[in-house]
Chain A
Amino acid sequence: MKEYILLMISAALVNNVILARFLGLCSFMGVTTRIDTAVGMGMATTFVITVSSMADWMVETFLLQPYGLGYLRTVTFILIIAATVQFTEMIVKKVSPPLFQMLGIYLPLITTNCAVLGVALLLVEGKMNFIGATLFAFASSIGYSLVMVIFAGLRERLALAEIPRLFAGPPIGFIVASLLALAFMGFSGMSAG
């Protein structure tokens, strides 16, 4: 039990997908202009990362490893991620068409989010069991969503601040992101201690 809690804290905070591994930076800068879009994107990504990692673990364990097909891993995982996104889109549409109208816009963007593939490949390196892999993927994506929401909140505040003309827009966004990454480095002290 304790090892799973440590695994989740490590995945979400210490080795944060965005601020420690620098994955998924496109959506990090792209959809964090408002908190609500960041939440929508974060939740959709959390769902896709968790479900696709389950499928990736199964394919890796029952197909790629036994038959020595490790060289097809990246291509296979990309295919699985695309299929999971399509599956999620179909399910949300089936569960509730109005929900799909509201949330469907975020889904196709996840296919090109490298954090999804990054987490799947990290799972293989970690050699975890099924529940461990799923919890790792879930915690990684919660860390992703957390940073997205924090950064969106900061950018909403930045929009109201008086910023020198040369720094307005993305430059000040990058400066804030770097400060946030420095703040998250503090969590690595948890693992050292």
Chain B
Amino acid sequence: MTVGEPVYSTEDFSAPAMVEGTAHVVAVEGNMAWLVPETGSSCGGCASASACGSKGIGTTASRLEARRFQLVNDVGLRVGERVVVGIRENTLLRASLTAYAIPLATLLSAGALAQWWFGSDLATMLAMFAGLALGLWLARLGAGRLLVRGELAPRFIRRASPGETCN
């Protein structure tokens, strides 16, 4: 192909893509495997590394440990194995909408209503905090519903090849 020639892709952009990441198995309990995600190779070199916890005193391990997750072990994974796991792309969108958009929507609606009704800063402030609390409660319900439907769980895609990293 020469430079300047139009590029035609046969990739279906409307199909829900998977967001992939590598993780390694740290424990196997019955039919379930516990996995810890691996950090990207560029993580330690980023300008924000000291703030995000990929560099610094004892932070990497604790952060990764907090992101430990479970997977149904149908393929007989053993401790120490590296696997590629994925979640659907729209799951991430739905999760961030649940966690952030719902509380923000209730916060701003409550604030706008209070400002229109009372017209004072103090009443608006109180209403906004009440709205935030209500929104967080609704987000909790929404997240529970997503969890019950199994949409938040990562899926096993394949065993990772030796040199494979997430970036």
Interface positions of A (Cβ within 8 A of B): 26, 30, 34-36, 39-40, 43-44, 46-47, 50-51, 54, 58, 91-93, 95-96, 98-105, 108-109, 111-112, 129-131, 134-135, 138, 160-162, 164
B95 at interface, CB cutoff 8 A: yes
Contact of A108 with B152 at beta-carbon distance under 8 Å, contacts A36-B93, A50-B107, A161-B7 already known: no
Interface size, chain B (Cβ < 8 Å): 50
Contact of A162 with B48 at beta-carbon distance under 8 Å, contacts A99-B99, A103-B99 already known: no
Q: B143: which A residues are within 8 A, CB to CB?
A: 95-96, 98-99
Q: B152: which A residues are within 8 A, CB to CB?
A: 96, 98-99, 102
Residue contact A95 to B96, C-beta cutoff 8 Å: no
* A57 shortest CB reach to chain B, Å: 9
Nearest chain-A residue to B138 (Cβ)? A95
Residue contact A58 to B139, C-beta cutoff 8 Å: no
* B39 shortest CB reach to chain A, Å: 10
Residue contact B139 to A160, C-beta cutoff 8 Å: no
**Which 6 pairs between the two chains have the least Cβ-Cβ distance?**
A96-B143, A98-B152, A43-B96, A130-B121, A108-B52, A47-B100
The 23 sampled A-B contact pairs (Cβ below 8 Å) are A26-B47, A35-B89, A36-B89, A39-B96, A44-B96, A47-B103, A50-B104, A50-B107, A50-B108, A51-B107, A91-B136, A95-B136, A96-B98, A96-B99, A98-B143, A98-B152, A98-B153, A99-B99, A102-B95, A102-B152, A108-B52, A111-B51, A130-B124
B144 at interface, CB cutoff 8 A: yes
Contact of A134 with B111 at beta-carbon distance under 8 Å, contacts A92-B99, A99-B98 already known: yes
Residue contact A101 to B104, C-beta cutoff 8 Å: no
Q: Is the interface of B mostly helix, strand, loop or mixed?
A: helix
Q: A26: which B residues are within 8 A, CB to CB?
A: 47-48
Q: B92 contacts which of A30, A39, A131 (Cβ < 8 Å)? A: A39
Q: B3 contacts which of A39, A100, A112, A164 (Cβ < 8 Å)? A: A164
Contact of A162 with B104 at beta-carbon distance under 8 Å, contacts A36-B93, A130-B124 already known: no
Nearest chain-B residue to A91 (Cβ)? B136
Contact indicator per residue, chain B 1-27, by CB within 8 Å of chain A (1) or not (0): 101110101010000000100000000
Q: B66: which A residues are within 8 A, CB to CB?
A: 93, 100-101, 104
Residue contact A109 to B92, C-beta cutoff 8 Å: no
Q: A50: which B residues are within 8 A, CB to CB?
A: 104, 107-108
Q: B139: which A residues are within 8 A, CB to CB?
A: 95-96
B132 at interface, CB cutoff 8 A: yes
